[in-house]
Amino acid sequence: MSDSTSNLNTQKEHILTLLKEKSAMKQDVFRHTIYTFGMVKECIKEIASELHIDIQRLDNRVIVLGEEVNDYAAQLRIAGDLLEFFMHTNVFEFEKNHSMFRTGYVKHNPFNSYCGIINVYNFLSDSFKYNRLNDLGYLICRIFVNREMKFFIEAKGPVGIKYSSFSNEPITKEQIKEIINELIIFVIGFDLYTPPAEQVKEVSVNEIQEKISSINLRTGKRLGYGYGASPKAEDDTNLYI
């Protein structure tokens, strides 16, 4: 057998090993992530249904609605806010300086660090109602699910601290509901601020006609408040982990 043939056989064996181990692992991660997202969609509908019934008794002007957009997206409307849940279809690895690589769980099996991601964004309900395509949404949570369906999250508030490292057991509907409820509490308290007058004092005839015809004034909860104007406000809108 020639050296070239031997090398080709070695390469083929290495490729098969990678396909058998790494590619198969990623299939497991995807399967568990989409199963988790299925639970997320169930929780959204259940939470929305319960809150809708209760709030209608108190004030029938307040709308709470949960719905599936497609296999990888779902929405939860809470009065003037909208939570968009979006599952990415790819599997991700973390940079090696991430804190998870110092845990025994990942050291025991590096494949445990590969995760699927469910992103949660906060938009204004009116952004979708009036088709304001330039409006801004903010990432407020990321749910990471691995090949064993264990999870951790990056999020604002106490729930982000509670679930900041991999869980000991696979994620449950109760935990998902707790996370969603905490996100609802966060966005209700995350108010819409008016931008500084200096940033909106000039407008052309064309721009105002467009705004009138389409209600297309670009809006976001902290639009206009950058680092120079209010660092604290900017920090409150972005997910820094």
Residue written as token pair 């469910």:
118
| Low pLDDT (below 50) residues in the chain | 223-241
pLDDT for res 216: 52
Q: What is the DSSP string of 27-74?
A: HHHHHHHHHHHHHHHHHHHHHHHHHHHHHHHH-TT--EEEEEEETTEE
pLDDT for res 234: 40
Q: Which amino acid is at 161?
A: I
Whole-prediction pTM: 0.79
Distance of CA 97 to the CA centre of its chain: 22
In angstroms, the Cα distances linking 62 to 56, 85, 134, 211, 234 are 7, 21, 25, 26, 28
pLDDT for res 205: 64
* Closest C-alpha among 191, 201, 194, 204 to residue 229: 194
* pLDDT tens per residue across span 126-146: 988 888 877 888 899 999 999
**Count of alpha carbons within 13 angstroms of residue 76, beta-carbon side:** 28
pLDDT for res 238: 40
In angstroms, the Cα distances linking 110 to 25, 102, 107 are 11, 11, 6
pLDDT for res 220: 58
pLDDT for res 71: 94
pLDDT for res 210: 65
pLDDT for res 18: 81
pLDDT for res 152: 96
Which residue ranges make up each domain of the chain? 19-237
